[in-house]
C-alpha cells in the first residue's frame, strides 16, 4: 500500500546523520514517515530534518517540548518553519503552555501559507509507574492520569496524543474519532521485543484505534528495511481496515 500520508513512522534512533540518511535511502517516503528524536536532533540539528523533508518524507519531530509558554510557542513556530509533518509537547506543561504551542504552530503556518503540522501531546511517560507518579504527588493511576492529560490537550486544541497501543481503544472511545493517536511499542508478530515491555502488533494497534505507528528496530535493524516495511504494510492490508485514513 502506498500513500502520501503513511501510517508508519520509522524511528531514526541514531546519533549519526550519515547512518540515518543512508537508512532513509533504503526506505520509501510513500510508505513511511520518519521520526527524528532528541538523539539525532542534538547530533545533527535542523539540517538533517531539512534533508529528510527534501527527500519527501513526512517528519515527526519528537522533541517533547516542555517549558514556559512563550519558549514553547517559539520552539513550535521554529519546528513549523522546518516543514515537519508532526511535532510534540508535554501535556504536563499545562493549559497555558498547550494553548501557546497551538498558537505558535498556527501563526507560523499562516505566515508560511502552509498546512499546520499535527501538534501532539505526550501524556504520561511509559517509564513512570504508579509509584513514580506518587512521588510526584500524582495519586491517580497512570491510565487515569494519561486520560486526564489527553482531555486537557484536546480542550487546548491539540490534534492528538502519543499513547501505548494497549490503551488506544480506551482513548479512542473517550476522545472521539478525529483525535490522533500515535503509538510506539509496536512489534510484528515474528519480531524480537527488544526492551519494550508491552508490545502490540501493527494490525492490533490499528484495530485498537491508532492513527500512526512508531516503529524503530523491527525496520531499522532489518537486513532489508524496505522489505520489513512492506511486510508490515502487508499485515495491515490483510487485517480488517478501520476506515480510510
- Which residues of this chain interact with ligand C5P, rule CB under 6 A? 11, 13, 37, 126, 162, 184-185, 194, 196, 214-217
For ligand C5P, the closer CB: 42 or 68: 42
For ligand C5P, the closer CB: 108 or 204: 204
The residue from 35, 38, 64, 180 that is catalytic is 64
Residue 55 CB, nearest approach to ligand C5P (Å): 20
CA distances from 6 to 1, 11, 18, 58, 114 (A): 9, 14, 24, 8, 19
Verify whether residue 64 is a known catalytic residue: yes
Residue nearest to ligand C5P (CB): 216
Residue 35 CB, nearest approach to ligand C5P (Å): 6
For ligand C5P, the closer CB: 140 or 194: 194
Which residues are the active-site residues? 64
Amino acid at each position: 500500500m502506498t500513500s502520501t500520508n503513511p501510517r508508519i513512522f520509522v524511528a531514526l534512533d541514531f546519533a549519526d546523520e550519515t547512518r540515518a540518511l543512508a537508512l532513509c535511502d533504503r526506505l520509501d517516503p510513500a510508505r513511511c514517515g520518519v521520526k527524528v528524536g532528541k538523539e539525532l536532533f542534538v547530533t545533527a540539528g535542523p539540517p538533517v530534518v531539512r534533508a529528510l523533508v527534501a527527500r519527501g518524507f513526512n517528519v515527526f519531530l519528537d522533541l517533547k517540548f516542555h517549558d514556559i509558554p512563550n519558549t514553547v510557542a517559539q520552539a513550535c513556530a521554529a519546528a513549523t518553519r522546518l516543514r515537519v509533518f508532526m511535532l510534540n509537547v508535554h501535556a504536563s506543561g499545562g493549559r497555558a503552555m498547550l494553548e501557546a504551542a497551538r498558537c505558535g504552530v498556527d501563526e507560523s503556518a499562516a505566515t508560511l501559507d502552509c498546512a499546520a503540522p499535527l501538534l501532539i501531546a505526550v501524556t504520561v511517560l511509559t517509564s513512570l509507574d504508579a509509584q513514580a507518579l506518587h512521588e510526584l504527588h500524582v495519586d491517580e493511576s497512570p491510565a487515569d492520569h494519561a486520560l486526564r492529560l489527553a482531555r486537557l490537550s484536546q480542550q487546548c486544541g491539540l490534534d492528538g496524543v502519543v499513547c501505548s497501543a494497549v490503551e488506544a481503544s480506551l482513548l479512542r472511545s473517550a476522545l472521539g474519532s478525529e483525535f490522533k493517536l500515535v503509538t510506539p511499542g509496536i512489534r510484528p508478530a515474528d519480531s524480537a521485543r527488544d526492551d519494550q515491555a508491552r508490545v502490540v502488533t501493527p494490525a492490533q494497534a490499528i484495530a485498537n484505534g491508532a492513527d500512526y505507528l512508531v516503529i524503530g528496530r523491527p525496520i531499522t535493524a532489518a537486513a532489508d528495511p524496505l522489505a520489513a516495511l512492506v511486510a508490515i504494510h502487508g499485515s495491515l492490508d490483510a487485517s480488517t481496515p478501520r476506515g480510510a485514513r
